[in-house]
Amino acid sequence: MRPAPLLALLAAVTPAQAAPVVEAEPSRLVLGPRARAEITIRDSGPELHGAVSMGTLVPGAASGDFTRFMWTPPPEARAPTLVLFAFWSGESPTLADVTLLALPCSGRTELAIETEPSAQVTVEVAGARFGPRRADRQGRLKLPVEVGPHAHEARVIAELSDQSKIRVLPLTLPPSPWLLAASPGRSSDGSSVHVLLVVPDTEESPGIELVAEGAKVEREQDAGRRFLYRVTPDRDRSAVPLVARTLDGSVRAQMTLDVARPVAAPPVETPPRPPPPGRWVLGGAIGGYVGGGSNAGPEAAVVLGYGLPRLPLVLELEVGVRHQSMSTQVGTLGVQTSSLTVFPIELALRWEALAAGTFRLGVRGGAGLLVGTHHLSSTFDSELSEGALGWEVFAALQAGLQVGPVEPYIEVRPSLAKVSTDHLEARPGGGVFSVGVRGEFR
Amino acid sequence: MSRARVLLGALLLAGCSGATLPAPSVVSVSPPERQASTSGPVTVTLDAVLPTVADHGTNTVVVDDRLTLTIGPRPFGPSRWADAGVITDFLPSVLPEGSYDVTVVLGDGRMATATDALHITAGDWPVGYTVGMIGDQTSNVPFGVTLRAQGAPDAGFTGTVFLSVPGATVVPSVSGPFSGNLRVETITVTVDHPGQYHLEVMDLDGRPGRSLDFHVAQ
C-alpha cells in the first residue's frame, strides 16, 4: 500500500488561500533509473510558477482546477536527498504566497558489516529494518539497505545463540541541495527581482548566506528556513551569478540571473535610426517666397510622402499654391495689373539626415511643374486670363521637432523657377520660407 | 502610360500656357447716321486687349498701343490707343452718300471691321461760296480767310469744304465746319515762286467758290 499523498503546507504563514495546495505522488521514493514523481497543484492563481532544488520539473496535464508537473531526478543521483519544491502565483510573491513541498528520496546501498562469526544480523535505519541475515564464519556480511535523507545512523543488531549485540554505525550523507529560485525569472532593464531560498531541514552546517556578484542583495522576509531576498542588479550587468552557501563556504545552490537590457537609444552623433518600412507621411506648410521684383507672395503646400523601406529617405509629392501680383502705370494709358496664381506639382526626395532626441534635420531636393493662371486687367483695355505653365527645381533644408505623433518644422528652400507666356515673365520662386507640420501613418 | 499619352499630355499642358489674344471689336459708332453735307464729331467705341507683356522681375509692363482706325477709306482718330478705346474725332463732310465700314487694326495686326457701321445720307448743299478779301501774304505764314456759304438750306450749312490754291500748297486741305453759313479758317500757303495766287473752295457736291488774286511773297 502506497503512503497517502503528503499535503505540503509548509508555507501557510499568512492566509492560506494565497498559496496553492501541492501534493506529490508518491510522497517518498527510492532513487534509481525509474524514479519519478507526479506533483499536482490545486487552487493556484494565474501565472503559476514552480521551482525545484534538483532534478527536472516538467509541466504536464492541466485543467481548470489543477496543474500537474512531472519530476525526475538527475540520472546519476543515487545518494539520499531531500528534494524541495516551491510553487507560487504571480511575479512578486511573498513567503506567504509560496507553497513548499519536501520529497524525501532514499538511496539504496549495500552495508558492509563485520560482526561475530555466524551471527544473525538485522540493521535498522531510521526506523526501517533490513535483514536478518547470517554473517559468514569470519563474521563478515554485506546487507542491502535503503537510507533516507533524515538518517544519521544505522543500528546493527547481531544475535548469536542467546546473546544480542547492538552496534551503531554513523551514516555520513551528502547534504541535500537548497532551493534557489528567482521571480520573475529574469531582471528587466536592471529592475530588482525576488529570490526565494529554502534550506532543507537536513542541513547541518551552520549559517546561510546568499552572495551575488554584481548585484545588491536585501533580505525581505524570512520564516524558519525560508528566505525571500530582493536582488537588484548593478548598472550595465547582463547577468548576475547567485550562490547560496553555508558560513563555511560550502555551496548548496547556485544560479545565474539574466538581466534583459533594452536596445540603447542612439546617441546624438550616430546616424539617424533606420525608419520602419512602409510608412506614409502627410503634412502641410504655409509661408512665402521672394524672387526679386514682384516675384513674391504667399504660398501653401500639401505634401504626401512615402518612407522608403529601411532607408532614411522619403519620396514626396507636393501640391501647393502661390500667388503674386503687380500694378504698373503704363505711360498715359493707365494702370496695368498682372496677377499670377500657380499650383506647383512637384516630386521631391527628403533625406532624414539627423535625428537627435526630438530634433530632426532633413535635406530635400526636387523638381516639378508650375501650373497656373495669369490675369491681366487695366484701366484702359479689356481683361485677359490665360493658362500658364512653368517649372521649378529646388533644394531645401528642414529642421523640426518630433512632438508626439507630429513633427512641426521650418523649411528654407532656394529654388529656380520660371513661368512665361506671350504676356508674362515671372519667377515665382527664389527663396521660399515656410513652416509646416507632418505626421506619419501606416 | 503610353508614349502617345505622354505626348498628348505635354501638348495639352503646353496649350494651357499663354493665350492667343482675341480679335478687337467695334462696339459702337455714334452717331450711326449723318447727312453728307454736315460735319462734326464721331465717336467710335472699341473693345480690345492690347498686346501686353508683364515682367514681374523688373516691375515693367510693355504695351503695344499702335492703332489704325478708318471709316470707309478715311483714316479716323489718333494713331495710338487712347481714352480706354473710346475714340472721338472730327469727321468733315467728305463722305458721299452711302454706307461705310469702320475698321480697326491693332499693332500686332489683329483687326476687326464693323460693316456699314456709318450711314451717310444725301446732303443739302449751299448754292455756292464766297471768299473774303485776302491781302498780300508771305509763303508759309498762316493767315485767316472768311468763307461764306451762299444759298444755304434753312438750317444753315454746317459742313466743310475742300481748299486749294492752284500752283501752291495750302494747309489744311479741308476746312473746319461752317457755322451760321460762315467759316473763318486759318490757312498756310506755301509757294515756290512769289506771285499772284487765288484760293478755290469746293464742297463734296462740287459747289465752288473763288477768292480774288492775292500776292504771296517768298
Pair A83, A202 in one domain: no
A290 in contact with B at a CB cutoff of 8 Å?
Answer: no
* Residue A408 host element (H or E): strand A406-421
What is the Cα–Cα distance from B119 to B186, expressed in whole angstroms?
30
Q: Containing domain of residue A79, as a range?
A: 6-106
Chain A residues whose CB is inside 8 A of the B18 CB are: 386-388, 421-423
**Which residues, other chains included, contact A181 with Cβ-Cβ below 8 Å and sequence gap of 6+?**
A49, A51, A86, A195, A196, A255
* Residue B10 host element (H or E): helix B3-16
Q: In a mutagenesis test of the B interface, which of A289, A381, A421 is the best target, namely the one with the most B β-carbons within 10 Å?
A: A381
pLDDT reported for residue A60: 81
DSSP code of residue A200 = -
What is the Cα–Cα distance from A104 to A84, expressed in whole angstroms?
9
Pair A409, A289 in one domain: yes
Task: Among B19, B50, B60, select the one facing A386 at the smallest CB separation.
Answer: B19
Inter-residue contact A247 to A256 (CB < 8 Å): no
Domain count, chain A: 4
Task: Among A382, A389, A427, select the one facing B14 at the smallest CB separation.
Answer: A389
B189-209: burial string, b at 16+ Cβ within 10 Å, e else: bebeeeeebbbbbbbbeebeb
Domain boundary among A230, A260, A290: A260
Put simply, the answer to whether B56 touches A388 (Cβ < 8 Å) is no
Pair A321, A361 in one domain: yes
Q: Which residue type does B131 have?
A: V
Residue A268 lies in a domain: no
Pair A355, A312 in one domain: yes
The CATH number that applies at residue A26 is 2.60.40.10
Closest B-chain CA to A421: B18
How far lies B84's CA from each of A329, B47, B49, B60, B112, in Å? Answer: 14, 8, 11, 20, 17
Chain centroid to Cα A334, Å, comes to: 79
How far lies B88's CA from each of B46, B91, B107, in Å? Answer: 11, 9, 19
Q: In a mutagenesis test of the A interface, which of B45, B61, B63 is the best target, namely the one with the most A β-carbons within 10 Å?
A: B61
The neighbour count for residue A269, using CB atoms within 10 Å, is 7
Chain A residues whose CB is inside 8 A of the B56 CB are: 293-295, 324, 326, 338, 340, 424-427
Half-sphere exposure of A378 toward its Cβ, with a 13 Å CA cutoff? 29
A326 in contact with B at a CB cutoff of 8 Å?
Answer: yes
> Over 80: is that where the pLDDT of B61 sits?
yes
Residue A120 lies in a domain: yes
**For the structural domain made of B19-121, what CATH number should be given?**
2.60.40.10
Pair A21, A52 in one domain: yes
Chain centroid to Cα B195, Å, comes to: 33
Chain A residues whose CB is inside 8 A of the B55 CB are: 293, 425
Put simply, the answer to whether A387 touches B48 (Cβ < 8 Å) is no
Pair A156, A235 in one domain: no
Pair A88, A128 in one domain: no
pLDDT truncated to tens, each residue of chain A (442 aa)? Answer: 333 333 333 333 334 445 788 888 888 888 888 888 999 988 777 788 889 999 988 888 777 778 888 999 988 888 899 999 999 888 888 888 888 899 999 988 888 888 888 888 888 888 888 888 888 888 888 888 888 888 888 888 888 877 888 888 888 888 899 999 998 888 888 888 999 999 998 888 888 889 888 899 999 888 888 999 999 998 888 889 999 999 888 899 999 888 887 665 555 565 555 555 678 999 999 999 999 999 999 999 999 999 988 888 999 999 999 999 999 999 999 999 999 999 999 999 999 999 888 999 999 999 999 999 999 999 999 999 999 999 999 999 999 999 988 999 999 999 999 999 999 999 999 999 999 999 987 6
Residue A153 lies in a domain: yes
Chain A residues 3-42 with a CB less than 8 Å from chain B: none
Pick the closest to residue A27 from A3, A60, A57, A1 (CA basis). Answer: A3
* Residue A371 host element (H or E): strand A359-378
Pair A320, A375 in one domain: yes
What is the Cα–Cα distance from A57 to A39, expressed in whole angstroms?
9
Closest A-chain CA to B86: A380
Q: Which residue type does B118 have?
A: L
A65 in contact with B at a CB cutoff of 8 Å?
Answer: no
Put simply, the answer to whether B55 touches A293 (Cβ < 8 Å) is yes
Domain B128-217: CATH class, spelled out: mainly beta
Chain B residues whose CB is inside 8 A of the A418 CB are: none
Put simply, the answer to whether A425 touches B52 (Cβ < 8 Å) is no
Which residues are paired to A107 by β-bridges?
A147
The CATH number that applies at residue A135 is 2.60.40
Residue A270 lies in a domain: no
Closest B-chain CA to A330: B61
Q: Which residue type does A275 have?
A: P
Put simply, the answer to whether A424 touches B54 (Cβ < 8 Å) is yes
B127 in contact with A at a CB cutoff of 8 Å?
Answer: no
B171 in contact with A at a CB cutoff of 8 Å?
Answer: no
Beta strands in A76-139 (DSSP E): 81-89, 99-114, 120-125, 128-134
Residues in chain B: 218
What is the Cα–Cα distance from A7 to A23, expressed in whole angstroms?
5
> Over 50: is that where the pLDDT of B3 sits?
no
Pair A437, A397 in one domain: yes
Domain with CATH 2.60.40.10 in chain B: 19-121, 128-217
The neighbour count for residue A15, using CB atoms within 10 Å, is 9
Residue A306 lies in a domain: yes
Chain A residues whose CB is inside 8 A of the B60 CB are: 328
Pair A315, A437 in one domain: yes
Put simply, the answer to whether A326 touches B59 (Cβ < 8 Å) is yes
Task: Among B13, B21, B52, select the one facing A336 at the smallest CB separation.
Answer: B52
Structure confidence by residue, pLDDT tens digits, B104-133: 999 999 999 999 999 999 999 999 999 999
B47 in contact with A at a CB cutoff of 8 Å?
Answer: yes
Residue A161's SS3 state is: coil
Task: Among B16, B54, B65, select the one facing A389 at the smallest CB separation.
Answer: B16
Put simply, the answer to whether B63 touches A371 (Cβ < 8 Å) is no
Chain A residues whose CB is inside 8 A of the B82 CB are: 332-333
Interface confidence (ipTM) of the complex:
0.79
Pair A284, A415 in one domain: yes
Confidence band of B149 (pLDDT split at 50, 70, 90): very high
pLDDT reported for residue A111: 81
Provide the whole-model pTM: 0.55
Residue A176 lies in a domain: no
Pair A334, A390 in one domain: yes
